[in-house]
Amino acid sequence: MISVVGIGPSREDMTLRALKTIEEADVVIGYKKYVNQIQDLIDDKEVLTKGMGQELMRAELAVQKSREGKKVALISSGDPGVFGMANVLFPVLGKYEDIKVEVIPGVSAVNFASSLLGAPLHDFAVISLSDLLTPLSEIKCKIKKACEADLVIAFYNPLSKTRKKPFQEALKILKEYKKLSTPLGLVKGGKDGTKVKVSSLEKLQQEEVDMSTIIIVGNSMSYVDDGWIITPRGYMVPYTTHPLALEFYEKYLSGEGVEGPNLSCEYYPCHSHPQNCTFCYCPFYPCGDQSTGGHWIKEKGVWSCEGCEWIHRDETAECIQAKLPSIIQNTDDLKKKKKELLKLRRECILNSEC
């Protein structure tokens, strides 16, 4: 039996299943740096280590020892299925018959990095910038497609002393497709411990990055609050609709609303001129999502739209008007169909921000 074991980013992050599998193994095979992390578990075992770049040799050794009737633990850092030894071993198994294999998942580097940055992941892509085995053209294509889909993107192996071009090309594509203010997190491992930095795409510098760095780049809805990167999932916030909002939408539904700038309003502009006043009262209130500029007034339980001008853009108003009538037939629907409204909000953000 070959057990491909993910030991996580550090000894402290190993799963109980990984720990038990290693304890029951006869032979442990792995890259020396990773094997050293579990030295206290393997003093009584046969240990075979190979260097970086000798992954295929490790896989073949695992097969050889398994055929000798031994329980083999093939060690992989993080999760073995995410740029790990599972992807190396399984193609090798095509040469052999009757080799029993199991994969023991571990905490991947992207999950570990995410936990230190807050909650940056929603729908996301994980891309390695190493071009040792992958052509640069393929890497660039993947980054472009991930940007076009507005995915959060996590980068592995971003840069080494001799391999800088993939990172430079990635940065160029990111700046072409994403706003420079897009939140970005850096998590770097090293002898002095793990370093965490929350920044933005605009401020990312090549000097901050090395092979041990995980970079997580947010999507169009990601934002930073109290030093955490947050990518909201769009959950509905229970709230009572304000009487003035009900009055506004009664007029809107009867065709008495005002489209475009309402220059006759005594409060115009309540944000900045020019502004579209079609939705003076936001149909999504309270969205509970800071990505467009709103925020909670802390300890008051009140959602403030003071910093949100997104609802007053022409393209936003056009996007909302195209589908709002099919969702809201009366003012009760502002509450009853809040989930559908919040989905429309996300759709219009994607249209206007990407």
The pLDDT value recorded for residue 354 is: 57
**Residue where a domain stops, chosen among 80, 106, 132:** 106
Euclidean distance between CA atoms 123 and 113, whole angstroms: 16
The pLDDT value recorded for residue 350 is: 86
Q: Is residue 287 part of a domain?
A: yes
DSSP-based helix, strand, coil % in the chain, nearest 5: 40, 20, 45
Residues 102 and 140 in one domain: no
Contacts of 94 (CB under 8 A, 6+ apart): none
The pLDDT value recorded for residue 353 is: 64
Q: Is residue 237 part of a domain?
A: no
Residues 97 and 118 in one domain: no
The pLDDT value recorded for residue 238 is: 82
Copy the structure tokens of residue 276. 């579209």
**Where do we find the tokens 């403030």?**
304
The pTM score is 0.90
The pLDDT value recorded for residue 28 is: 94
The number of folded domains in the chain is: 3
The pLDDT value recorded for residue 179 is: 94
Full domain range(s) for residue 349 = 243-353
Give the CA count within 13 Å in the CB-facing half-sphere of 137: 0
The CATH code of the domain that includes 190 is 3.30.950.10
By the 8 A CB rule, do 29 and 61 touch?
yes
The pLDDT value recorded for residue 162 is: 86
Block means of pLDDT (10 residues each) for the chain, length 354 residues?
Answer: 94 93 94 88 88 87 94 95 94 92 96 97 96 94 96 95 93 96 93 90 93 95 96 88 92 90 88 91 93 92 92 95 94 94 94 68
